[in-house]
Every structure is written in structure tokens, then in C-alpha cells.
Amino acid sequence: VLLQEKGFQIEVYDRDEPIQRKLLEQKIVHADGLICLLSDNIDKSLINRAGNLKIIANYAAGFNNIDIAYAASRGIVVSNTPDILTAATADLAWSLLLSVSKRIVESDRFTRAGEFRGWGPMLFLGGDVTRKTLGIIGAGRIGQAVAQRAAGFEMQIVYHDTRPLPEFEKKTGARYCSIQQLFSESDFISIHCPLNNSTHHLINSANIYQIKKGAYLINTARGQVVEEKALVDALKSGHLAGAGLDVYEFEPQISPEIKSLEQVILLPHIGSATFETRSEMARIAARNVISVIESGKALTPINT
Ligand code: DGY
């Protein structure tokens, strides 16, 4: 609507599936602006086809799907939708953390299947959350929001990032530590770092067993931060007690092995999926396009 009001000529492709590459390659040739999804791969070869493109507005906070350096070298602004999805994604990380440790999904399946035949002292024992240690990998906006929500559970917070964050520490009592320390101290690890060359397979077969035995892993960031095969092994061996996943290494493909594990909760990348957040994301993406076309500047740029 915002773009229509400004008289833009708009072409909209399916909202729930990524646009076919061939079609995108044709459409990009004459477009002045592109609003894309995190599942659209905006690489060098696609950018090279663009004759008029001035802005790539990603409908997401993460932007690992776009070659931002190359776009910048071609004078194309790239923008994202930061801030507005922080609360929704942090809430979802907590939903996974609580659900996996309290075995909510397994218990629901069991109850629906008519298998509940009376209270039992050993029925669906899970893990405590209160006063446990929460490890945050990547203390950006979402990581910090997840840590803030831990206060009600009296949790200790440790975090790892590219640098210590004194303000965050003051606010939450979080302690900065190396990734190895975070692995060995955390009862719950929640991933919130961006995907880039240094975070790809940050958790892998060589280090996953450094994670404290019985810990839970939550990933609402990007699947490729965790080597899925290593995760499957650590879960199957019982080293990890469970995992709550919203993202996958080979998204949207998920290994059959991971699907077969009861102690894992699998969601279809819905971190920001609330009515309010998704509408606001659409508004910001559209406003970024308008702003770049009208003034050359984005409201939430990444690469300038
Ligand atoms: C993002 O915006 O990067 C999230 O992954 C969407 O859920």
C-alpha cells in the first residue's frame, strides 16, 4: 500500500515460497528496487543482471543471503528490518527453551494419543530452568533480549561475542567468556550471532562434546552456525539433552535423523512470525525502497 500510494509499479510474487530464480533473473534487469526474502539468494551474478537497481530491501534482520559488499561496489543500497523483530524472536527462543526442557511437545503427543493413564512419578521428567546457566552466543539485539527475559528465572548468564559489552553486563549481570567456557558452563545455549565466515559451523563435530553434558541447544538464528551432523550425533549419544530449532543447515531440508529424535522441537523458521512484527517488517522494507528512490538514503541501511 505504501508503495502504491507513491505510484510505484509493483510486481508481487508468492508470499510463502521463494521466487523462482529464473523469474528473479528476468525481473531484476529493469527493477529500480527489490524487496526480497531471506530465502532469496542475491548473489554477484544476480546483481550483475540489474541495470537500474538502487535498493535491495531484505525482508529480514539477517542478511547472509545477500552479497552486500558487491552490491555496495555497484552503488546499490542494501537494507534490513532490524529492531522490530527482536521481541518476537526472543520470545520464540524462550518458547523453545521452555518447551524442550519441559518436554511440552512430546507430552502433548502422548496425551492426545490417549496414553495418559494416570499420574506417574517418572512421567516425562525434564530439566529445570530456574537458577540454571544460560549461554548466549551473539549478544546483539536479540541475544540481549533473550538474556533480559532470563531474569524472572534467576538464571546466571554467560555470553560470547566478538567483544565484551559493558552496558549489557551492567543491565543483566551477564559475564563475557570464551566460546569454550560458554560450552562448559551453560545448561542452555541460545544462538543469536549472524551467519558469516567466522560463525559458519561455529558448533561442529570437533567441539560439540565440549558442551556440558545434559545441556540444551536453542537455535533461532541461522542453521549453518551448527553442523547438523554433529548435532544429530550429540543428541543421539545423549550428550545433549535436547534441542529447539527454528533454523536448519540445509533449510528447508531437514535431515530425517533429526526428525526422528523425540527430544528435539522443530519449527519452520518462524522467529519473527507474529502479525504485528511481519506487518512492521513489510512497512520498513517498503519505506526503505521509497526513501532510497526519493533521497538516495535508506532508513535502515546495512552496507553504507
Ligand atoms: C530474520 O529476520 O533474519 C529472521 O531469521 C526472520 O525470522
The confidence score (pLDDT) of residue 21 equals 85
* Ligand 1 touching residue 85 (CB < 6 A): yes
**Average pLDDT of 28-46?**
94
Of ligand 1's atoms, which has the minimum distance to the CA of residue 80? 2
Ligand 1 proximity of 271 Cβ (cutoff 6 Å): yes
In the structure, what pLDDT confidence band is assigned to residue 10 with cuts at 50, 70 and 90?
confident
Select which of 103, 141, 160, 222 is catalytic: 222
Predicted confidence (pLDDT) per residue in 230-275, tens digit: 999 999 999 999 999 999 999 999 999 999 999 999 999 999 999 9
Is 66 close to ligand 1, i.e. is its CB under 6 Å away?
no
Q: What is the pLDDT of residues 209-232, one digit of tens each?
A: 999 999 999 999 999 999 999 999
**Is the CB of residue 207 less than 8 Å from the CB of residue 182?**
no
Dist. CA 286 → ligand 1 center (Å) = 17
- Read off the pLDDT band of 14 (50, 70, 90): low
Checking if the pLDDT of 76 tops 90, the result is yes
State the closest ligand 1 atom to the C-alpha of 281, by its place in the atom list counted from 1: 2
Average pLDDT over residues 17-31: 85
61 lines ligand 1 (CB under 6 A): yes
Q: What is the amino acid identity at position 114?
A: G
The one catalytic residue in 169, 251, 257, 280 is 251
Residue 16 is predicted with a pLDDT of 60
Q: What's the gap in Å between 38 CA and the centre of ligand 1?
A: 7
222 among known catalytic residues: yes
The predicted pLDDT at position 146 comes to 98
pTM score, whole prediction: 0.94
Check if 251 is active-site: yes
